Amino acid sequence: MSTIVVVEDEPAIAELIAINLRHAGHEVTLAATAEQAQREIDAMLPDLVVLDWMLPGQSGLALARQWRNDPRTRELPIIMLTARSEEADKVSGLDAGADDYLTKPFSTNELMARIRAVLRRKAPEALDDVVEVAGLRLDPATRRISCGERELKMGPTEFRLLHFLMTHPERVHSRSQLLDRVWGDHVFIEERTVDVHVKRLREALAPGERAWMIETVRGAGYRLTHQAGVTAA
């Protein structure tokens, strides 16, 4: 399940988008102004923002630029909406840091498809797609993990951690990155908490003989690998 902030000052359009997103299983927060949107983002980083260009006061375009200049929101997936259809506007929207751009009036099916595409590219852990790495299969919709015929049991935190690692395999994640992406960036937890959950995750994977997939990369963090027998330096 993913969290999406919809920034749109026209209530009818905002509601239409919200209904469709909720129907697709997303958690939606609405904001009608740039200031309200900023407050939502300050409180909790969502998985994606649908951002209208024309807002009362500060424009969506200026807001997108502002987010791209802040390290905390630099990677935030943004889909920009606009009533303008000129090529130059599309270019400024993408230049300001939007990941995609949609001209009004748009079909909600198209918006849903674009949202999935952007999430798949930038935050695949926010989607309910089944992930499979090295015979290990994780289904977010049914919350089941299996290895061949064997079902593996684990707690909700280990599940989220594994989901994040499986959707970003072979990459090294520091403890603070894992805290931000798995626990949420406004949660104050000590970094060693990550080690505790990694240990539990390896224990949960052991019955499927997959504990080796979670590698410790000394001085850097953790990595999920699909190749057995490759030890980290």
Q: Site residues (CB under 5 A) for Ca ion?
A: 9, 52, 54
Beta strand pairing status for 136-139 and 131-133?
antiparallel
CA 123-198-184 angle, 5° bins: 40
Which of 57/207 has CB closer to Ca ion? 57
Contact between 51 and 101 (Cβ < 8 Å): no
Which of 9/139 has CB closer to Ca ion? 9
Contact between 173 and 221 (Cβ < 8 Å): yes
Query: For residues 177 and 191, what is the distance between their CA atoms, to the nearest angstrom?
Result: 10
Q: What is the closest distance, in whole angstroms, from the C-beta atom of residue 10 to Ca ion in the complex?
A: 5
Q: What is the closest distance, in whole angstroms, from the C-beta atom of residue 110 to Ca ion in the complex?
A: 18
Q: What is the closest distance, in whole angstroms, from the C-beta atom of residue 104 to Ca ion in the complex?
A: 9
Contact between 147 and 209 (Cβ < 8 Å): yes
Q: What is the closest distance, in whole angstroms, from the C-beta atom of residue 39 to Ca ion in the complex?
A: 18
CB proximity list for 87: less than 8 A, separation 6 or greater: none
Which of 31/162 has CB closer to Ca ion? 31
Which of 9/129 has CB closer to Ca ion? 9
Residue nearest to Ca ion (CB): 54
